Amino acid sequence: MSIKTAIVNGVATIEIARPEKKNALTRVMYQAMTDALVAANTDKSVRAVLIQGQPNIFTSGNDIEDFMGSPPRDEEAPVFQFMRALVTCEKPVVAAVNGAAIGIGTTMLLHCDFVFVADDARLAMPFVALGLVPEFASSLVVPRLMGHVKAAEKLLLGDPFTGAEAVECGMANAVLPPAEVVSHARRVAERFNNLAPSAVRESKRLMRSHTTAQVMETIQVEAEIFGARLRSPEATEAFQAFFQKRQPDFSKFE
Ligand code: COA
């Protein structure tokens, strides 16, 4: 099983555990994460959710083989269900990021409430490099967080950035030594055991309410373009290049 879940001391943990493929996320894994989030949302014993990867990798993003073989077709696709469950989760979601968080690995952080990153973490949203476009409201949230020109580095060039930069631009709370990230994130999640649960839920809802409609609308607009791009010759070239361990050649495209 490449997603491990557990509920300990009021915290529902979702651990991405597919290190042999750098924690690349498959449809089955999205489904397991969705189930865990939905269950956590209704389980009265759960006060917060913790999402973590492995010591050297958070996630290398969507499984590229899955992208080629069974690309998400509509909003019922497992990746949509997972992101919908995350965006609408009523309880606080805390992320602990060690190593690389690529593609949806970074995108999902934009929808968490607390993000703790290791000092060796590398975040990246290389959608354009894969012939794709930003997803799950990153085209809205990232420019809002850091301004257009910094967002262009991340979303157009796909430049990776450090945990420190993520903190600087408001994407993450704090940078920690790698060995302390998960324990620190867990301690923060456990603080919700001592807080009034309805007040927490209502407050989170209020904080998100001003942007929810725009986020949902943007997700839909992006999804249509993203879906078409997944089948584009540019993306096919990028995916083949990844598995052939070479640089993609976009010189023939207009
Ligand atoms: N989808 C499918 N397989 C992936 C993957 C992904 N997103 N990321 C890594 N893998 C696989 C590799 O194909 C390789 O498989 P193999 O051992 O059968 O050859 C294995 O995981 C190890 O990856 P590798 O690239 O050799 O590890 P690395 O330490 O050199 O690099 C990364 C790690 C994360 C930097 C690199 O794997 C990477 O860039 N992955 C793709 C990230 C990406 O573009 N994601 C965006 C998707 S939207």
Taking the centre of ligand 1 as the mean of its atom positions, its distance from the CA of residue 132, in whole angstroms, is 17
| CA-nearest residue, atom 1 of ligand 1 | 63
Taking the centre of ligand 1 as the mean of its atom positions, its distance from the CA of residue 34, in whole angstroms, is 23
**Structural domain includes residue 229:** no
**Structural domain includes residue 221:** no
**Structural domain includes residue 28:** yes
pLDDT confidence tier of residue 148, bands split at 50, 70 and 90: very high
Taking the centre of ligand 1 as the mean of its atom positions, its distance from the CA of residue 227, in whole angstroms, is 21
Beta strand pairing call for 11-16 and 48-52: parallel
Best residue among 16, 18, 21, 22 to mutate for probing ligand 1's pocket (most ligand atoms within 8 Å of CB) is 22
**Structural domain includes residue 185:** no
**Structural domain includes residue 253:** no
pLDDT at site 174: 98
* Ligand 1 atom nearest to CA at 100: 34
Average of pLDDT values for 220-249? 96
**Structural domain includes residue 219:** no
Helix, strand or coil, per DSSP, at residue 16: strand
Give the amino acid at 4.
K
How far apart CA 115 and CA 145 sit, in angstroms, is 14
Q: Which residues line ligand 1 (CB under 6 A)?
A: 21-22, 24, 60-65, 100, 102-103, 126, 130
| CA-nearest residue, atom 10 of ligand 1 | 21
Positions of E strands within 28-184: 48-52, 57-59, 93-97, 100-102, 114-118, 122-124, 161-162, 174-176
Taking the centre of ligand 1 as the mean of its atom positions, its distance from the CA of residue 60, in whole angstroms, is 6
Taking the centre of ligand 1 as the mean of its atom positions, its distance from the CA of residue 21, in whole angstroms, is 6
Lowest mean pLDDT among 64-68, 84-88, 133-137, 154-158: 64-68
In terms of residue numbers, what domain contains 156? 3-179
Helix, strand or coil, per DSSP, at residue 186: helix
pLDDT at site 168: 97
Does residue 73 carry a pLDDT above 90?
A: no
How far apart CA 152 and CA 134 sit, in angstroms, is 11
Taking the centre of ligand 1 as the mean of its atom positions, its distance from the CA of residue 147, in whole angstroms, is 30
* Ligand 1 atom nearest to CA at 127: 48
| CA-nearest residue, atom 5 of ligand 1 | 24
Does residue 143 carry a pLDDT above 80?
A: yes
Per-residue pLDDT tens for 15-26?
999 999 999 999
Average of pLDDT values for 77-95? 97
Per-residue pLDDT tens for 94-116?
999 999 999 999 999 999 999 99
| CATH number (domain holding residue 64) | 3.90.226.10
Instruction: Report the share of the chain in percent with pLDDT over 70.
Output: 100
pLDDT confidence tier of residue 3, bands split at 50, 70 and 90: very high
**Structural domain includes residue 212:** no
Domain count for the chain, please give it.
Answer: 1
**Structural domain includes residue 167:** yes
The pTM score is 0.97
* Ligand 1 atom nearest to CA at 57: 34
Per-residue pLDDT tens for 169-215?
999 999 999 999 999 999 999 999 999 999 999 999 999 999 999 99
